[in-house]
Amino acid sequence: MTFTIIMIICVAIVLGVAAAFAVAISKGYDYKHTVDPLPDESHNKEEYKKSDVR
């Protein structure tokens, strides 16, 4: 009898951990990641010209 109760508790814990893992993964995929835009091309060319002059 006690073995059955312990096994039910263990299975419930495993299912709880699996559910928490699934929720965390789902939230991670739902997160909207943002990326900073690339700097202007003309701004980069001017910087390179200034650094080439010595």
45 domain residue, yes or no: no
7 domain residue, yes or no: yes
**This model's pTM is above 0.75:** no
50 domain residue, yes or no: no
pLDDT at 24: 96
C-alpha torsion angle, residues 3, 9, 14, 20 (rounded to 10): 180
Give the distance, in angstroms, between the CA of residue 38 and the centroid of all CA atoms in the same chain. Answer: 22
Domain housing 10: 1-31
Q: What is the pLDDT along the chain (54 residues), one digit of tens a residue?
A: 899 999 999 999 999 999 999 999 999 998 888 888 887 766 556 665 666 555
- pLDDT tens, residue by residue, 34-44: 888 887 766 55
CA neighbours closer than 13 Å in the CB half-sphere of residue 54 = 1
Q: What's the total number of domains in the chain?
A: 1
